[in-house]
Amino acid sequence: MLILTTDGVAGYDIRSVLGEVLGTAVQADQAAAPQPGHGGSSATFRVTGEQPSVGLSAARREAVDRLREEARRMGANTVVGMRFDTAAIGGGVEVCAYGTAVWAEPAQAREQAPQQQPHPQK
CATH of the domain at 14: 3.30.110.70
pTM of the entire structure?
0.69
Name the domain count of the chain.
Answer: 1
- Asked, for residue 59, whether it belongs to a domain, the answer is yes
For range 20-29, the mean pLDDT:
90
- Asked, for residue 19, whether it belongs to a domain, the answer is yes
Strands 12-28 and 44-46: parallel
Whole-angstrom distance, CA of residue 35 vs CA of residue 11: 47
What pLDDT score was predicted for residue 53? 62
- Asked, for residue 107, whether it belongs to a domain, the answer is no
Query: pLDDT digits over 60-97, tens only?
Result: 999 999 999 999 999 999 999 999 999 998 888 999 99
Sheet holding 12-28, edge to edge: 2-3, 78-89, 92-106, 12-28, 44-46
For range 30-56, the mean pLDDT:
50
